[in-house]
A and B are shown apart, each in its own frame.
Chain A
Amino acid sequence: DAGITQSPRHKVTETGTPVTLRCHQTENHRYMYWYRQDPGHGLRLIHYSYGVKDTDKGEVSDGYSVSRSKTEDFLLTLESATSSQTSVYFCAISTPGNQPQHFGDGTRLSIL
């Protein structure tokens, strides 16, 4: 494991409720990413961060926001969860210089 902890690992919630997922790393890596994984789509980038307070959108960012106030923590928030956001969410980290990304073990989120 690359020193990445995602919490919670599982969550069931109702449509319309806010949800925050946390990614915590102990590697002091500069770059952090949030992906969702759905059958037939592989991994799709939601948002990413290239430093504290520096974030940008990925290809599927609608309905999601992120924050990074410390190097080690990257939060993903669903302001008002919808059933289409039921998915498995993965956090990844990387360092500058064309280095590969390393992944956490994911959060399985079900929105009823």
Chain B
Amino acid sequence: GQQLNQSPQSMFIQEGEDVSMNCTSSSIFNTWLWYKQDPGEGPVLLIALYKAGELTSNGRLTAQFGITRKDSFLNISASIPSDVGIYFCAGQPSSLNYGGATNKLIFGTGTLLAVQP
């Protein structure tokens, strides 16, 4: 099936540093989403992107929908200890068998972020 390549797999940084992660696909996507998952909980939506080139911020988080519609990135500025967790990208492919009326998504494998105080 279709897959998203998410990188890096993990990051170990110092508090205050900026973070960047990205997702790429071989297919065109209509929607890109970024989620964060804390231990023992479900993923929580951070940012949703709907148009190629769109740049959206949510506090210290900024995400962009790539102009080719095949990639997206997430930046976190001035990281803090509570940013620790797993970050997932997800996309809704434009191919006929996905998305559309059912909002089905493809997920990346996640980026584990560790922040040292």
Contact = CB atoms under 8 A, between A and B. Distances in A.
Given A42-B107, A43-B107, A100-B33, A31 B45 contact: no
Contact of B101 (A4, A43, A96, A101): A96
A103 B45 CA distance: 9
Contacts, number: 63
Interface in B5-30: 6, 30
Interface residues of B, number: 28
Contact of A103 (B44, B50, B99): B44
A98 B4 CA distance: 19
B56 to A, nearest CB: 13
6 contacts: A31-B103, A45-B105, A90-B43, A101-B33, A105-B40, A105-B42
Interface of A: 4, 31, 33, 40-45, 48, 50, 56, 58-59, 90, 92, 94-96, 98-106
Interface of B: 1, 4, 6, 30-31, 33, 35, 40-45, 48, 50, 88, 90, 92, 99, 101-105, 107-110
